[in-house]
């Protein structure tokens, strides 16, 4: 199963629309994960035209989204547990916050956002995966999104553009 991963799109504040690179890069995905800071519900509707979408709230998402999507969720994909959370908060580092959010949940992978910086690393047995932002690179050199290939293992890829 191929999963397209994005976060921090901030549409229409940081970009008028989803970048064409996302539509191209997600052309063959089976599912899309959005790790928050969507801003407008129509962004999810547009992504749904590509593949089913699982999303969580970010700290800039409006009340209309608060009624429809959770702050945290866990997906079971081919026997792997994938936790999704935005990662905002005041206590500790973002990595510590996302790990603490799933303490006791026995997840294999945590997808998060908030920093606008791509990150792909293990913390013990847990894969921490942040796709960066496809619309607001902030201190990063490039825009980015991620791909998770789930089979016998979880393979990851950050795509920069």
Domain locations in the chain as residue ranges: 2-160
Task: Check whether the bond before 18 is cis (ω within 30° of 0).
Answer: no
Rounded distance, CA 102 to CA 72, Å?
9
Q: What is the band of 147 on the pLDDT scale with cuts at 50, 70, 90?
A: very high
Mean pLDDT estimate for the chain: 97
Is 0.85 surpassed by the pTM of this model? yes
Rounded distance, CA 90 to CA 21, Å?
33
The whole-number average pLDDT for the span 18-37 is: 98
Share of residues in the chain with pLDDT > 70 (%): 100
State the pLDDT at residue 28.
97
Q: Is the per-residue pLDDT at 139 higher than 90?
A: no
The fold for domain 2-160 equals Purple Acid Phosphatase; chain A, domain 2 (3.60.21)
Per-residue pLDDT tens digits for 63-118: 899 999 999 999 999 999 999 999 999 989 999 999 999 999 999 999 999 999 99
Q: At a CB cut-off of 8 Å and minimum separation 6, what does 29 contact?
A: 2, 3, 4, 50, 51, 147
What number of CA atoms fall less than 13 Å from residue 143's CA on the CB side?
Answer: 16
What string of DSSP letters covers 27-72?
TT-SEEEE-S---SHHHHHHHHTTS-EEE---TT--HHHHTTS-SE
Per-residue pLDDT tens digits for 2-12: 999 999 999 99
């Amino acid at each position: 199963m191929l999963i397209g991963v994005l976060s921090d799109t901030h549409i229409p504040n940081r970009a008028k629309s989803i970048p064409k690179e996302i539509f191209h890069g997600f052309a063959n995905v089976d599912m899309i994960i959005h790790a928050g800071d969507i801003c407008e519900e129509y962004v999810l509707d547009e992504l749904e035209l590509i593949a089913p979408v699982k999303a969580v709230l970010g700290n800039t998402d409006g009340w209309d989204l608060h009624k429809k999507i959770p702050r945290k969720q866990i997906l079971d994909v081919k026997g792997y547990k994938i936790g999704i959370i935005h990662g905002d908060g005041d206590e500790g580092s973002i990595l510590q916050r996302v790990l603490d959010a799933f303490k006791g949940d026995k997840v294999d992978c945590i997808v998060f956002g908030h920093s606008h910086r791509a990150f792909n690393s293990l913390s013990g047995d847990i894969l921490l995966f942040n796709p960066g932002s496809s619309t607001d690179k902030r201190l990063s050199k490039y825009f980015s999104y991620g791909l998770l290939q789930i089979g016998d293992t979880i393979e990851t890829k950050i795509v920069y553009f």
